[in-house]
Amino acid sequence: MSRNLFIGFGTETGNSELLAMDAQRIASSNGIETRCACLDEIQVDEIKNHEYILIICSTWGDGEQPDNAQDLYDSMQDIDENELNGTHFAVLALGDTAFDLFCEAGIQWDQLLEEKGSSRFYERLDCDTDYEDDAEEWLEVVLNKIASTINA
Ligand SMILES: Cc1cc2nc3c(=O)[nH]c(=O)nc-3n(C[C@H](O)[C@H](O)[C@H](O)COP(=O)(O)O)c2cc1C
């Protein structure tokens, strides 16, 4: 497995995508080899070739995955429980506390990645509508942590 990072975003109106672009910029400036893609542009087999997996995903409908995250989420549910062994993950969840199922899609990714054998290297952040500063701070910390491990 190569020592690199996959940044995947699931989005309906682009907020998660913009954060993913920021994450890619921070990662590159820290010397981390990174692939950034929408979750409908990647297969499970490709994801598991990355040592680090960063998922940035909003919640839609009534606690549902964005359309462009649903198929990958369904595919990942079907893989074996140890399939993601050796990988490390963190999840940045976007949502709105006005909804009953706050950040549910991100919570589901967080649980699923762990169930499939990936290890959580940083606690999930659940973001409300005024998310920019908290999300940027979280990304800085997470990416610095990856960089310090990779460059150690
Ligand atoms: C129709 C609609 C449904 C939503 N449903 C939820 C929800 O169930 N839970 C939640 O936490 N946020 C919900 N949200 C809030 C979005 O997740 C939030 O606005 C997020 O920042 C959107 O990010 P995106 O542009 O990456 O999709 C909903 C927003 C809209 C417009």
- For position 33, which CATH number holds? 3.40.50.360
56: domain range?
A: 2-150
Count of structural domains within the chain: 1
**What is the full per-residue pLDDT of the chain (152 aa) written as tens digits?**
455 999 999 999 999 999 999 999 999 999 999 999 999 999 999 999 999 999 999 999 999 999 999 999 999 999 999 999 999 999 999 999 999 999 999 999 999 999 999 999 999 999 999 999 999 999 999 999 999 988 66
pLDDT at 150: 80
- Please give the distance, rounded to the nearest whole angstrom, from the Cα atom of residue 29 to the centre of ligand 1: 30
Position 72: which residue type? Answer: L
Task: Answer yes or no: are the C-beta atoms of 80 and 40 closer than 8 Å.
Answer: no
- Please give the distance, rounded to the nearest whole angstrom, from the Cα atom of residue 146 to the centre of ligand 1: 28
Q: Are strands 88-94 and 2-10 parallel, antiparallel or unpaired?
A: unpaired
Closest CA to 53 of 67, 68, 66, 72: 72
